[in-house]
């Protein structure tokens, strides 16, 4: 059966994980505290809807680096990990925002994920959280749709993704309505074939994709130019220059699947590359978890 892969992005604490939990029935941690909760991108187990599987990838707000709260060393490792999770490409993007003013972060997230990382090749819908006070929830979109004409959204989908607490009985039916609307949007707007950022079919290597995306991130996050990856600079050298410890940088490079596959397939071990790739995935999860928790 076909899998529709969806990348979910947006500002910190805006309700990305709540939305993913609502659609998939998952229970990943969410919180309204002052600090970000999701510290590494996360692939939800695919679930079946109509005649396809839907797989969501939850992300970390990368623009935090601009404010100095997430150092560049964490951002580069997280970006490597996100790119690794993007290996099968995406069919749709969901930009998550909160009902209210359009912030600078909203523009930055759109610029990075829609225009830069995926080069405008993947349709994007906007999910608006915190619409529980509107009756109907669509009321917020009706009043505010003009503000979004400068973006290329396929649809504006208002919703409520909150759960628990004293309002749970009110939230539950609104979550169900929001879930149905989003799943309909996924079926309606997703590309029938995933758009790949790198890999054999594209002729673009992991290495080249990482360089392009990292350099665009540096620009967008307003980091000094010295953080850009230089021509012929290895990923290891880049990480060291950004302050990633030698141990972690060495481990990360050894475990970047595509680099490994190139090495692995030259060895006499049959399917050596594939095996290494599998081991690398688990390793990268640990690595980003560790760096984020430092």
Report the residue from 38, 41, 97, 178 that binds Mg ion according to the rule CB under 5 A.
38
CA-CA distance, 5 to 43, in Å (whole number)? 10
The entry of Mg ion, ligand GTP, none near residue 89 (CB within 5 to 8 angstroms by kind) is none
Counting contacts by CB under 6 A, is residue 14 touching ligand GTP?
Answer: yes
CB 293, min distance to Mg ion, A: 15
CB 38, min distance to ligand GTP, A: 3
Residues forming beta bridges with residue 3, ordered by sequence position: 53
Residue 53 backbone phi and psi in degrees, to 5: -95, 145
Residue written as token pair 């999910």: 127
Closest CA to 19 of 139, 128, 169: 128
Tokens of 249: 């940088």
Closest CA to 95 of 80, 121, 114: 114
Closest CA to 78 of 281, 241, 247, 284: 284
Counting contacts by CB under 6 A, is residue 105 touching ligand GTP?
Answer: no
For ligand GTP, the binding residues in 108-147 under the rule CB under 6 A are 129-130, 132
Counting contacts by CB under 6 A, is residue 258 touching ligand GTP?
Answer: no
CA-CA distance, 76 to 216, in Å (whole number)? 12
Q: Indicate the residue among 125 and 259 with the shorter CB distance to ligand GTP.
A: 125
CB 20, min distance to ligand GTP, A: 8
Residues that bind Mg ion (CB under 5 A): 16-17, 37-38
The contact set with ligand GTP (CB under 6 A) reads 12-18, 30-32, 36-38, 61, 129-130, 132, 160-162
């Amino acid at each position: 059966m076909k899998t529709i892969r969806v990348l979910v992005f947006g500002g910190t604490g805006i309700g990305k994980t709540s939305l993913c939990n609502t659609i998939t029935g998952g229970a990943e941690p969410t919180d309204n505290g002052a600090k970000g909760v999701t510290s590494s991108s996360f692939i939800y187990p695919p679930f079946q809807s109509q005649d396809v599987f839907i797989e969501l990838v939850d992300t970390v707000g990368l623009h935090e680096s601009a404010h100095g709260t997430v150092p560049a060393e964490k951002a580069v490792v997280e970006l490597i990990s996100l790119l690794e999770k993007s290996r099968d490409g995406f069919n749709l993007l969901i930009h998550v925002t909160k009902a209210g003013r359009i912030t600078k972060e909203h523009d930055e997230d759109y610029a990075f994920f829609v225009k830069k990382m995926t080069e405008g090749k993947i349709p994007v819908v906007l999910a608006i959280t915190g619409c529980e006070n509107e009756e109907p929830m669509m009321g917020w979109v009706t009043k505010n749709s003009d503000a979004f004409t400068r973006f290329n959204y396929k649809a504006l989908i208002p919703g409520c993704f909150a759960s628990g607490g004293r309002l749970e009985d009110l939230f539950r039916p609104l979550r169900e309505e929001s879930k149905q609307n989003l799943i309909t949007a996924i079926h309606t707007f997703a590309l029938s074939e995933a758009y790949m950022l790198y890999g054999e079919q594209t002729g673009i290597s992991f290495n080249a994709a990482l360089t392009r995306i990292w350099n665009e991130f540096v620009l967008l996050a307003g980091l000094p130019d010295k953080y850009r990856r230089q021509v012929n600079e290895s990923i290891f050298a880049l990480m060291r220059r950004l302050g990633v410890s030698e141990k972690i940088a060495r481990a990360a490079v050894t475990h970047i699947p595509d680099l490994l596959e190139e090495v692995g397939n030259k060895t006499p071990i049959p399917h050596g590359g594939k095996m290494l790739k599998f081991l690398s995935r688990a390793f990268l999860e640990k690595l980003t978890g560790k760096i984020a928790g430092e």
